[in-house]
A and B are shown apart, each in its own frame.
Chain A
Amino acid sequence: MASVYKSLSKTSGYKEEEVPANGVKKNKQRVLILSSRGITYRHRHLLNDLASLLPHSKKDAKLDTKSKLYQLNELAELYNCNNVFFFEARKGKDLYLWMSKAPNGPTVKMHMQNLHTMEELHFTGNCLKGSRPILSFDASFDSASHLRVLKELFLHIFGVPKGARRAKPFIDHIMAFTLADGKIWIRNYQISETEASKITNISSEPSDPPKVKGKSDKGKETEVSLVEIGPRFVLTPIVIQEGSFGGPIIYENKEFVSPNQVRSDVRLKKAGKYNARAESGIERLAKRGELGLRTSGGRTLPKDALDTGELFA
């Protein structure tokens, strides 16, 4: 009987969702969160932090492959997720973040830098686990089409939909996305409200008991301040694909320099330093030889009558 009731109620619920009261499609998001193999503990902690901030997420085990990322689509379908949030670690140090709308794209690949987990940041802010954040976007997200796509993806993945299963009421934190220097900076703040200027309250009505005070507080705005919670990280968009983990590339960031390139450049610079030094050493030797200052090799100076060897022989 129970199963029959369940199925019946489910179907009815489904119909309700199909046609909401105001005729607008409901915002339903579920995010599959997972990482590749080879992530470090900091990457893992960051992933956990983000998962704890997103009650509409489903965390899965590490993905074995790094080349066949299209498998993620099947995984997402398996878990009923329409968003994929995937950490790809390379060389045990570089972290790439893939964000995708699961069945048919688009997909964004970004390079993650300056990441700090909640634990290591020691911020005093805290918020309810699963409360819905306010998302604050920089206006420059609307300036270009690829940024608009990015913004939409952030909205789907970091915005907790209303009525998510583990979501809690009340709004007590805000996620800020800012575009600076071609990178996206992400911060997470707690909204702390303090009663506005108690001193003025007391001075205005010193004789009255707190009953009146409470009344006035209701009408009055409380003062808002922010306390950072963490984590922090910076994203550099690299590539946008049309499909989900596949399809043609519709945006590529030319300014992005891969960390491998940076490292090799540094190494080359160092190597160049040694080469220059070695070369200059050889040059110096040749110069000294030319002047006849070396004991062996090079030009020998013609004997002079005024040489010390000749004079004091």
Chain B
Amino acid sequence: MVTKSKLKMALVAEKGTDFKKLNQKKRQKAARKEKSTKSGGTAEKEWESMDEASDGEDGAPVNGEEADSGNEEEVDEPMEIDFARLDESDSDSSAGENDQDNSDNEDDEDIPVSDLEDLNDEEREDLIPHQRLSINNTVALTAALKRIALPIAKMSFSEHQTVTTAEPVTIADVSDDLNRELAFYAQALSAVKEARKQFKSEGVPFTRPTDYFAEMVKADEHMVKIKAKLVDEAASKKASTDARKQRDLKKFGKQVQVAKLQERQKETKQTMEKIKVLKRKRQGGDNEATNEAEMFDVELENETSGSKPSRKDRMGPNKRAKKDEKFGHGGKKRFSKSGDAQSSSDLRGFSSKKMKGVVKQRPGKARRAGGKR
């Protein structure tokens, strides 16, 4: 416990505080607190007030000095308040400008690990012990900074080329990639605009002329690789969209086919109807033919001429009439095929030669010669 700064030690010596006594008192208090928590049912506020009361009791009889009791209060405040302050020390707000002050604060705030052993397990679980003491020596830091700092204010902008944003960049969620990168981009872009203004006012060349060639950070092969990658990516994207389209087509292919067939049928039906209408008109009046020719396309005319002629249009006698003539229609049918006097006297098909049997005609001289050969 006797690890305090010189100044404080001197103060303590003057006051004549006994460290052992203090320590003992602390132990007592801790024990009492434990008891109170174990007895249960006591609310936080209750034992807080109890502590305060006990403070008054303790402070008065042991040492009459007011200053000491004040000091005590700081030590003996309920633990929770101490934790709150500990948390505060995480942020650098408590780091004082005065070195001496700083060390004093640390003595009060940071609880050594040895002290924590007195606590019971439940309490210890809640507490995150900071074994490492926070170090933030502001004085030394500013001294170091002063030692190395460049006199930016005196230098021209083209010497240092640094731009600091007017307001701190705030990023709500660091793991949100898009917004984070956007914030960085915005910061850089504003800096560029600011810097360009400065350069222009100082007359420093900013833009690289198009005919200035020099070695680049990324070599040409590297850039070719990047380009190839970009092309690859675009190609793969296109391929994937094509594949998706194909898949969709396959899904609806059947429906599409049926629809197409129906459409085709419908088309043919329509053309046929048109033709029919045309024909009817033509039959109705020849005087309108010239107008029709004008009205309808030449193709349609060709179509009509190309199609098969209908039965009524066919030339020649009717088949029925012929058949009637041949087989008879109405009248006597009996003996119609038997011979009569007229037919027996008809000698048109008679030939005596045929009666004698088949006689082969002798072939001519030239034929005979050809046959020999």
Contacts and interface: CB of A to CB of B under 8 A. Distances in A.
Given A139-B164, A159-B161, A187-B188, A24 B154 contact: yes
B140 A152 contact: no
Q: What are the nearest 7 A-B pairs in CB distance?
A: A136-B191, A140-B168, A145-B141, A250-B140, A252-B135, A170-B208, A250-B137
Contacts of B331: none
Contact of B90 (A142, A172, A249, A254): A254
A247 to B, nearest CB: 9
A178 B184 CA distance: 7
B161 A250 contact: no
A102 to B, nearest CB: 11
A24 B156 CA distance: 10
B226 interface: yes
A161 B152 CA distance: 12
A118 B221 CA distance: 13
Given A127-B216, A145-B138, A149-B145, A139 B166 contact: yes
Interface in B120-175: 130, 132, 134-138, 140-142, 144-145, 147-152, 154-155, 158-169, 171, 174
B18 to A, nearest CB: 34
Contacts of A126: 216-218, 223
B214 interface: yes
Interface string B224-235: 011001100000
Interface of A: 22, 24-25, 27, 49, 52-53, 101, 104-106, 118-119, 122-124, 126-146, 148-149, 152-153, 155-156, 159, 161-162, 168-172, 174, 176, 178-181, 183, 185, 187, 189, 191, 193, 222, 224-226, 229, 240, 242, 248-252, 254-255
Given A106-B148, A124-B230, A155-B160, 6 more contacts: A118-B222, A127-B217, A137-B162, A145-B142, A152-B145, A225-B189
Nearest to A123: B226
Given A229-B218, A254-B132, A136 B144 contact: no
Contact of B171 (A104, A180, A229): A180
Contacts of B209: 170
Interface string B78-92: 000000000000101
With a 10 A CB-CB cut-off, give which of A22, A25, A136, A183 has the most chain B CB atoms: A136
B160 A27 contact: yes
Interface residues of B, number: 69
Interface of A, secondary structure class, is mixed
Contact of B141 (A27, A118, A229, A250): A250
A104 B92 CA distance: 26
Contact of B163 (A106, A136, A148): A136
Given A250-B137, A252-B135, A135 B217 contact: no
Given A139-B165, A139-B168, A152-B149, A176 B136 contact: no
B148 A135 contact: no
Given A124-B226, A174-B191, A178-B184, A138 B169 contact: yes
